[in-house]
Amino acid sequence: MTKKIFKAVVVEGSNGAAHVVLPFDPDLVWGKKPRHRVSGTVDGQKIRAIIETKDRIVKLTPMWRRDAGVQMDRKVAVALWPEGPQRADLAEDFAAALNAEPKAAAFFDDLAQFYRKGYLAWIDATKKKPEERVRRIRETVKLLKAGKKERPK
């Protein structure tokens, strides 16, 4: 998990929001994705955000701004890191299965951490049955390729 720490100015956004412009390309740091789900801090206040790659900004909602007390046009310290399990964190067998199916891999990368963790817990619950793990990995890749956020219960 690569943490990025930098200073930036909070600037006016639309509809009462504000934003912080990233001084780096998130695709170069965290891998190419249409959007990056991140956790971190802005001026010491916790934040979770989705960074659209094309925008390269962290949006600060009006409610977050009010609660955090972060002022406009002020330089703040920012720390950001990818949220949840990333591809580099995956077991070799599941990572290889995703690499073989780019559509499933792209969908997995774009899932919120809740859904990624759900799939991983289901796969990892098969430690004592290797043949079941293989089946679950195949099923997971099939579901991800079909655009399913969760496996059927």
Q: Identify the domain containing residue 136 by its residue range.
A: 87-145
Task: Specify the pTM.
Answer: 0.81
71 shares a domain with 8: yes
109 shares a domain with 134: yes
Express each pLDDT in 53-89 by its tens digit.
788 999 999 999 889 988 899 999 999 999 989 888 8
94 shares a domain with 26: no
Within 10 angstroms of residue 128's Cβ, the number of other Cβ atoms is 7
21 shares a domain with 49: yes
C-alpha R_g of the chain: 18
10 shares a domain with 57: yes
Q: What pLDDT sits at residue 16? A: 85
Last residue within a domain, chosen from 82, 116, 131: 82
Last residue within a domain, chosen from 57, 82, 107: 82
Last residue within a domain, chosen from 82, 114, 132: 82
151 belongs to a structural domain: no
Looking at the structure of the chain, the number of domains it has is: 2
| Percent with pLDDT over 70 in the chain | 99
CATH assignment of the domain containing 25: 2.40.30.100
Give 1's pLDDT tier (boundaries 50, 70, 90): low
**What average pLDDT does range 127-151 have in this prediction?**
94
27 belongs to a structural domain: yes
Express each pLDDT in 37-50 by its tens digit.
999 999 999 999 99
135 shares a domain with 100: yes
* Cβ-proximal residues to 83 (8 Å cutoff; 6+ apart), any chain: 37, 38, 39, 48, 113
Buried b (16+ CB within 10 A) or exposed e, 84-114: bbbeeebeeebeebbeeeeebbebbbbbeee
75 shares a domain with 118: no
91 shares a domain with 73: no
- Give the pairing of strands 45-52 and 4-12: unpaired
